[in-house]
Amino acid sequence: MIDIGNNVVNTEASVVIRIEGMSCAACSTRVERSLDELDGVVEAVVNLSTKKAHVTFDTSITRLQQIKEIIIKAGYEPLTNTQDPVIGFTPQLTRPSFNLSFAIVFVIPLGVLTMGPMVGLSIPIMLDANSNAITASLVQFLLTLPIVFAGRGFYKSGIRAVLHGGSNMDTLVTIGTSAAIIYSVYGISRIFGGEAGFVSNLYFESAGFIITLVLLGKFIEDLAMQKMSSAISKLVSLSPITATRVEADELKEILLEDVNLNDTLLVRPGEKVPTDGELIKGETSIDESMLTGESMPVNKMAGDLLIGGTINGEGAIRMRTTHVGSETTLARIIKMVEDAQGSKAHIAKLADRVSGVFVPFVIVVAILSAMAWFYSGASFEFALTIFISVLIIACPCALGLATPTAIMVGTGRGAELGILIKNAAALENTDKINTVIFDKTGTITEGKPSMVFFHTFNQMDDDQLLSLAASVEAGSDHPLSKAIVNAAMEKNIPYNMASEIKNVPGFGIVGNVAGKEINIGKPELLDAHNVDRLVAAKTLKDIVESGHTPLLMSVDGKLSAAIAMSDTIKPNSKKAIANLMAMGIEPIMITGDNNAVAVSVAKEVGIDRVIAGVLPQDKELKVRELQESGRKVAMVGDGINDAPAIARANLGIAMGAGTDVAMESGDIVLMNSDLMGVEKALQLGRSTMQNIKQNLFWAFFYNGIGIPIAAGLLFLLGGPLLKPVFAAAAMSLSSISVLTNALRLRAFR
């Protein structure tokens, strides 16, 4: 921020940079630490799964080019948008599938030559190690070279990391396989010197199988990553490529990118709605399931909002565009999911700290273990086996993938269910929530009240009073105001927009119609204007006891009418509340309504605790009071007048059915207005956190057990010695197991 006079200029910017060359958690941790140390960087989050860095920086202190230079100095390559790899355009030689296939073609004959006799296979005498050691060793060497070429990416990454003062998983593979190959080449010189028996001490097959197995593991990881990012791919595919624009009653097919604000578009039956807009002609039903998770089509008529990417039903309609490009609901959802998948959970910090020192630690352990065995009397070949096995079995990849993979799948699955989770912190907080506060109107109830009772006093004319009421309420978007206007329209009672309209938040509205001062709202509003309402006491009591919301109306300071408003409770509210209570969560209802009405609604849905008569600006205070009493609070509201309370809560859940305000206010946004979505969101968050904890446990457990075994612990106790090739298989399996466990979240229901 820069203060220029009285104007504060925001100089912060955020950028997402794709990074080429990261292979494990040690890589992402190194890049993240390097970025954090750069002056002007406010926050840097590097995600190993997505291979992207999310950087927030102060543009008055540093520039994007400096950020990219830091990434290069760390030993990695920042890509521009035009360099971002696209499936189908990746050069053949760099594709994981090609390199794996290329390695397999040569590792199979290498394995047959070196291990075939162990299982009874007959080897041609010319290639038999016992009969022709020189030829056999040279053929093994020649078969290993193409495999090394297939794994050249590991060597490039591993060596580059060392040259830049760091190390990563590829460094371990590079050192381990290079040691095996170099020693084996030395062995060939011994064989040429007449020591034919040395052919049994060659490690070419170990190096070949290690590289191939690591390539296999990376290939499976890539497939898993594609599945993890399928949610975003599905969202992107929702947007049509073209739209039909209406120009002077002529139809013109145009690209979606050429659609402008306020264009009139034709949407035929079965077509996708091109962009966000307002239905201006026709009636139809819209399938919104791909965005909201709601399977039933939604009926639409003139004046209703349409969301781009949804599917039109049987009616041909015309619409006026209200949002295009990056401002559409679909585009914002995609960005929200991408941001969430790129965010980092606090629980990941432990893995990051370990990953930062893991590779140097493993190298030291490998050297010390090999030296310990060698100086205790073991052969050099035995010590070399220990050295290579320790290097290869260690896997910081599993640690680095444990958290981001689960977050990717969890947030992606949420998007498919109409649950938009903005960041990893929101997922973590779901695990702590023990109290959920629900706003009443629009959350527990439909939020579309209707006027059920209009009683006049002082023998005033009903229609005339309702016309005056509608004239004032027409100046407000409040649901109660709309209900009064709708009641006048249904009775064909004419009204004109009042003047001097003033909304009194939490109380009502005042205005002037043809010189008459009109007040409509809570009884307290009339009290503030010194209106005598004693005559309405019994009527008010009857309205409240019937469970309706009472409003009073005065004209020129005299009580004129009592109005009863009713709001239907959503079908699933009661079930959703019961399910949350079964999870051990206490539900609380908060409302601006009076206590009697609030208790009536709460009783119907099974809520015991009610906070009534709360002004919109005071809801945040009630949330804070609960937090100060030790409660971990989730606030559920419609994202409009509940925004401060939603922001204050430990977890803010906005139920806005895709409205702009809802998209901005909550940590979690429910694209449909079904209260069952609250339970789904909390269950999904808890399942994701459980998955992360499982992944971290197995990653730490694997390394805690694997490294000592590779160092010869079992052999020391009379068991077998772990061969490098099996260490490579175990290393790949550890990463695959973490990915597979994370993918289980795709089945969340």
pLDDT at 94 over 60: no
Active site residue 439: yes
CB 72: neighbour CB atoms within 10 A?
11
Q: pLDDT per residue over 174-208, tens digit each?
A: 888 898 899 999 999 999 988 888 888 888 888 89
In a domain, 725, yes or no: no
Closest CA to 373 of 707, 720, 715, 703: 715
Percent of the chain with pLDDT over 90: 25
pLDDT band at 85 (very low <50, low <70, confident <90, very high): very low
- Of 535, 566, 597, the one marking the end of a domain is 566
In a domain, 212, yes or no: no
264-267: strand order across its sheet: 250-255, 242-247, 264-267, 317-323, 276-281, 305-306
The pLDDT of residue 87: 38
- Of 621, 646, 676, the one marking the end of a domain is 676
Q: Which tokens is 540 given?
A: 């008010």
Q: Would you put residue 221 in left (φ > 0), alpha (ψ -120 to 50) or beta?
A: alpha
The pLDDT of residue 141: 94
CATH code where residue 668 lies: 3.40.50.1000
Q: Which domain holds residue 499?
A: 450-566
3-state secondary structure string across 583-597: CCCEEEEECCCCHHH
In a domain, 349, yes or no: no
Percent of the chain with pLDDT over 70: 92
Q: Which of 352, 431, 439, 642 is catalytic?
A: 439
In a domain, 663, yes or no: yes
In a domain, 373, yes or no: no
The pLDDT of residue 80: 59
CATH code where residue 292 lies: 2.70.150.10
| Residue count of the chain | 749
Q: Is 441 in the same domain as 575? A: yes
Beta strands at 284-287 and 558-566: parallel, antiparallel or unpaired: unpaired
CB 211: neighbour CB atoms within 10 A?
27
The residue behind tokens 């992207």 is: 52
CATH code where residue 18 lies: 3.30.70.100
pLDDT at 230 over 70: no
Q: Is 561 in the same domain as 464? A: yes
Q: Is 548 in the same domain as 474? A: yes
Q: pLDDT per residue over 362-381, tens digit each?
A: 889 999 999 999 999 999 98
Phi and psi of 659, rounded to 5°?
Answer: -70, 155
In a domain, 152, yes or no: no
Average pLDDT score over the chain = 84
User: Residue 671 has what DSSP assignment?
Assistant: S
Q: How far is 598 from 613, CA to CA, in rounded Å?
A: 9
How many domains does one find in the chain? 4
Q: pLDDT per residue over 689-698, tens digit each?
A: 999 889 888 8
Q: Is 562 in the same domain as 577? A: no
Q: How far is 356 from 360, CA to CA, in rounded Å?
A: 9
Q: Is 438 in the same domain as 503? A: no
CA-CA-CA-CA torsion sign (520, 525, 528, 533): positive
Q: Is 518 in the same domain as 478? A: yes
CATH code where residue 509 lies: 3.40.1110.10
Q: Is 425 in the same domain as 533? A: no
Q: How far is 57 from 14, CA to CA, in rounded Å?
A: 6
The residue behind tokens 């162990």 is: 118
Q: Is 616 in the same domain as 560? A: no
Q: Is 581 in the same domain as 560? A: no
Q: Is 440 in the same domain as 574? A: yes
Q: Is 561 in the same domain as 574? A: no
In a domain, 433, yes or no: yes
pLDDT at 148 over 60: yes
The pLDDT of residue 231: 66
CB 346: neighbour CB atoms within 10 A?
10
Q: How far is 343 from 672, CA to CA, in rounded Å?
A: 24
Residues forming beta bridges with residue 555, ordered by sequence position:
518, 558
Q: Average pLDDT, stretch 141-149?
A: 94
Q: Average pLDDT, stretch 206-232?
A: 78
Q: Would you put residue 425 in left (φ > 0), alpha (ψ -120 to 50) or beta?
A: alpha
- Of 323, 347, 370, the one marking the end of a domain is 323
Q: Is 643 in the same domain as 550? A: no
In a domain, 604, yes or no: yes
pLDDT at 717 over 50: yes
The pLDDT of residue 89: 40
**What is the DSSP track for 504-565?**
ETTTEEEEEETTEEEEEE-HHHHHHTT---GGGHHHHHHHHHTTPEEEEEEETTEEEEEEEE
Q: Which tokens is 239 given?
A: 């947007």
Q: How far is 619 from 625, CA to CA, in rounded Å?
A: 10
